[in-house]
Amino acid sequence: MAHHDEDRAHELVELDLEDRPDGPAAAAAFSAGFGIFVLGLLTMLSEVSVSLHDWLERWEFDQGVGPLAGKTTLAAIAWAVSWIVVAALLRKRDVNLKVWFLFSLVLGILGAIGTFPPIFLSFAPE
């Protein structure tokens, strides 16, 4: 799906900018949503499983920075790896940015919900 001048704002057409694929932007949006989703998922799963909770605590490298340290470390790794992989896959492709943005938004919202204490604490064994 190549961009055409009639699809662009008049002001942008006059600038005569190089046409570039949308894939890298879609990859950036997706990886952001994915990283947030992973953080929410790890936060909830940490409440469900004591062994996972203990394993995640090891990812803080004895720095004593708080209960989210291991979860945020792994979420940041998931974000970076997903960005690299998806950007490589979409590097020269034009994609529907609206669809990728909405999918990324849904992932981000689900992840944010997973980090909300009334939600993740509801998974804790009683």
- 94-109: pLDDT as tens digits: 899 999 999 999 999 9
Least confidently predicted of 2-6, 35-39, 61-65, 87-91: 2-6
In this structure, is residue 29 part of a structural domain? Answer: yes
In this structure, is residue 36 part of a structural domain? Answer: yes
* Cα separation values, 114 from 10, 37, 46, 97, 108, Å: 43, 8, 11, 25, 10
Using pLDDT thresholds of 50, 70 and 90, give the confidence band for residue 2: low
Name the domain count of the chain.
Answer: 1
Using pLDDT thresholds of 50, 70 and 90, give the confidence band for residue 56: confident
CB 44 within 8 A of CB 113: no
Higher pLDDT, 111 or 120: 111
Residue 11 neighbours by CB distance under 10 Å: 7
In this structure, is residue 34 part of a structural domain? Answer: yes
Amino acid at 11: E
Domain of residue 26 covers 21-123
In this structure, is residue 12 part of a structural domain? Answer: no
